[in-house]
Amino acid sequence: MPCARTYASSPTRRRIMSDASRMTCPYGSSRTPAQPQPCRARVAYVEEGSPADRVGIEAGMVITEVEGSKLRDLIEWRWQADGFDVEVTFDDGQTALLERELGEDWGITFDDCIFDGVMTCRNACSFCFMGMLPKGMRQTLYLRDDDYRLSFLQGNFVTLTNIDDDELERIIECHLSPLHVSLHAVSPDVRETLMGKNAARGMEVLEALLDAGLEVHVQVVVVPGVNDGAELMRTLAWIERHPGVLSAGFVPLGYTKYQRRFSSSFSDDPDAAAAVIELIREFQEDSGVERRNPRLQIADEFYIDAGYDFPPAFMYAGYPQFQDGIGMMRSFIDEWDENAEHIAQLAKLLDEARPAYIVCGTAFARVLQGLIDASPLVGKLEILPVENEFFGGNVDVTCLITGSDLIPALRATHPEGIVLVAREMFNQDFTLLDDVTLAEVEAASDATVRLCTYTPVDIIDALMR
């Protein structure tokens, strides 16, 4: 489980995760709703023999219109190009008519999913991770996307506060559902405290979407003393009244040392974390939703902070908010147990004299240590927990470990065996968030580093290679 704690809003965390792993589409330039950029859909790849190839479309060409409409995003392309023929206009004014047979794809891959600039956040969230970043990091980390199109296409959480009436009409007309929405609270005054003066618009749009029959996944970042307790009860009651909310994820506040507003969170108060869990559990049991398909889902870190066991898999109902740290631990534990035989085989291959190491954040270390201690890997696979001095605060997840913390930890340990490091910590260029490269990590630490995705199967495979 490389990432558990959700820092600030999910769009923020996804921006960082996107930069680290490049698992999502590139975003292009940013914009506000009132400042649209020119529509430029650059073709990245054309499939040989496809309708696009047959009319001479090549990689690098730029499409600006489809069926006479501005090509703003991938949604517009899918909407307009749903038939057997489609006319496209290029940036030089030339046009082409594409025709296809039943079941045939157009054969075009774009280099982005947003063609007119990403809609950015205009809120002033008190818990926003962007306001807690140090200066001097790469610019992509500071982009605060709040774009409903990325919410629909990629699952990014959005506040809906920047949606004007035209965009709202488009969402409803195109039935862009489900969206992923940052809810946080339902009382107007609390929402304004958390999100700023635009908070009311987000609730207005959300209600309109639900009234129109669209569905959403929502997330609540719980800030101690602000939207827990009585306000959390009001939020839970609101969710209970809206069946269009497919799932609701509750994650605790995360913060760095580069701010003055927060100095503690649920990670410092097990009783407060337990109180949040118990309150949500009351609604899980009384909401009328079957226990085997619960909508209300609690982030892994709440259970870690409170010292509770993780719920069984059925309580996560298919893991709809997995990428935001909800259910990652349960999934990892279950997969670990399912691979007991392979773990036993791995133990025979590893040498206690030269144990392998697995680098992780302190949150994951607490769970993984218990699994290793109960397995034949004791003494053969060691955990190397890395304290996050770079971000500080209560940042304790693996994916936010930087080179400035990783290299000293490796030097202090002097590992002679293989060292596993999470692939999610690096971007596509194998560079960490502080611009330290994998090669620099290996050279500075004299360690044999092997990257892998942190699932039990991938960890076992990486160590058996």
Mean pLDDT by 10 residues, the chain (465 residues): 41 34 37 66 97 97 97 96 97 97 96 95 91 85 93 96 97 98 98 96 98 98 97 97 96 95 94 97 71 81 97 93 94 98 96 94 96 97 97 96 97 93 95 95 92 97 93
Report the DSSP beta bridge partners of residue 152: none
Pick the CATH number of 10-29+117-322 from 2.60.40, 3.10.100, 3.20.20, 3.30.43: 3.20.20
Q: Where are the domains of the chain?
A: 10-29+117-322, 38-110, 339-464
CATH topology of domain 339-464: Rossmann fold (3.40.50)
Reduced to 3 states, what is the DSSP secondary structure of residue 110? strand
| pLDDT the model gives residue 24 | 35
| pLDDT the model gives residue 261 | 93
Nearest-angstrom CA–CA distance, 311 and 327: 9
**Cβ contact 100:85 at 8 Å:** yes
Nearest-angstrom CA–CA distance, 385 and 396: 9
**Cβ contact 118:31 at 8 Å:** yes
Nearest-angstrom CA–CA distance, 234 and 15: 30
| pLDDT the model gives residue 131 | 84
Nearest-angstrom CA–CA distance, 305 and 173: 43
| pLDDT the model gives residue 9 | 37
Tell me which CATH homologous superfamily contains domain 38-110.
PDZ domain (2.30.42.10)
| pLDDT the model gives residue 294 | 86
Q: What is the pTM of this model?
A: 0.89
**Cβ contact 145:12 at 8 Å:** no
Nearest-angstrom CA–CA distance, 106 and 311: 45
| pLDDT the model gives residue 287 | 56
Provide the CB-side half-sphere exposure for 307 (13 A, CA): 5
| pLDDT the model gives residue 141 | 84
